[in-house]
Structure 1
Amino acid sequence: MSRRRGAHLERAILDAAWDLLTQVGYARLSMEAVAAKASTSRPVIHRRWPTRARLALAAMDHFAPAETAPPDTGSLRTDLLALMEQVAGRTKTVHGEILAGMAAETARDPEAARALRAWLTTATRGRHVTAVVQRAAERGEIPAVQLLPRVATLPMDLIRNEVILYGQPPGKQTIAEMVDSIILPAIHQAAAVA
């Protein structure tokens, strides 16, 4: 049997990591178990992903569902509700468990904290929220507005906070409260000063 290299080896490692994440969770994931399952060595894995956190995030990215277009329901409020419900639904999967496990680990592992921060910064750029707000402006619901990055990422930040603090994503009622009392006022405030 020839040695696997490049993309083939990387896929085998990510497959093994994902299988283990879904079976035992992030807290019990080990580089040794991934190496055994992928039929490779721990040093080979460490050359690509120096920490368990980076490997878990790479596996999560590799197996993430394809990104969907932002909802277009015809109104800003219902677009935001639908978007947040989509994101909350995704956090009910192993993705949410991985993020919660990593968040717990960041208190004692600075490298896990750096990896998680870098991943979250990339994952929560607010593209969908910005698109939803731009469509609302095009429909004439609100004035044209350039959202500050903090406002654009606010919906995802709120969901992530719920998952990390309470171990589960917010339900429909909580999402509606977030949209009505936090997100929409922030968007309207941004539109008022634009």
Structure 2
Amino acid sequence: MEQSGDTRTRRRGTALAEAILHAAAAELTESGYAALTMDKVAARAGTNKNAIYRRWPNRLALGVAAYRQLATTVQPPDTGALRDDVLELLRRANRHWSSPHGAILRDLLAAAGNAADLLAQLPEQSTDTMTAQWLTLLGRAVARGEAAPEALHPRVATVAIDLLRNEFVLRGVPIAPDDVLIEIVDEVYLPLVRQRGAAARG
């Protein structure tokens, strides 16, 4: 026999976890990480805090998981020239990190500190994801003859994005001026790539 009155469907497992993540992502988008609370997320998801804590031990872990709902995967540029590819990828990162979603990411990075396990869950901070994207750019340059195969090294490939990230994380800039991006490419990245090739020939 059905009960009369308004009853709420009891969600479990994946359905409940997705509802919580969607609620947390909405809270992040509307109010940022600083205002994210378990109470607000629970109310928005139509559940209780215990259901959240069973899946995510604290606010930071929930924030990182929710941010993954907001992130998108972008294919690396292919302009036909290494300098232009690197500049375009840096400019994309610069725009993202200075956007509202980027502000959420910066807050999460600051809160995570040295928690490598949490940082690795952030798409933009995943070592494998980021390295693969930059190795793709450098690999194309090697195939075109712009760079020597010896330059195809993970630390070389990612040095430009590491330097840009430092502008946001360590220096706290709201957005990096374009001349800073050009300086990173022309004064650090390209000379390093060329040096690897010259060292191999020497």
Aligned residue number for residue 128 of structure 1: 133
Question: What CA distance in whole angstroms lies between the structure 1 residues aligned with 2:166 and 2:50?
Answer: 35
Match of 1:24 in 2: 31
**2: CA distance, partners of 1:160 / 1:46:** 31
What secondary structure does 1:15 align onto?
helix
Percent identity at matched positions? 40
Q: Find the counterpart in structure 2 of residue 14 from structure 1.
A: 21
Could you tell me the TM-score, scaled by structure 2's length? 0.82
1:39, 1:77 → 2: CA distance? 50
Q: How does 1:139-178 map to 2 (within 5 A)?
A: 139-145=144-150, 147-164=152-169, 165-178=171-184
Paired residues of 1:81 and 1:176 also in contact (CA < 8 A) = yes
Cα distance, 1:60 vs. partner?
A: 1.3
Partner AA of 2:92 in structure 1: Q
Say which is worse superposed, 1-10 or 52-61, in terms of deviation: 1-10
Return 5+ residue gaps in structure 2 as ranges: 1-7
- Superposition deviation, residue 145 in structure 1: 3.0
Partner of 1:98: 104
1:67-119 CA distance string (max 9 Å, x none) = 12211111110010011111112212333212322343346xx7xx3454333
Query: 2:4 is matched with which residue?
Result: none
For the pair shown, the structure with the greater C-alpha radius of gyration is: 2
* Mapped partners of 1:191, 1:3: distance in 2: 62
8 Å Cα contact 1:54-1:115 kept in structure 2: no
Query: C-alpha root-mean-square deviation of aligned residues, in Å?
Result: 2.1
What count of residue pairs does the alignment treat as equivalent? 189
CA contact (8 A) 1:126 1:149 kept: yes
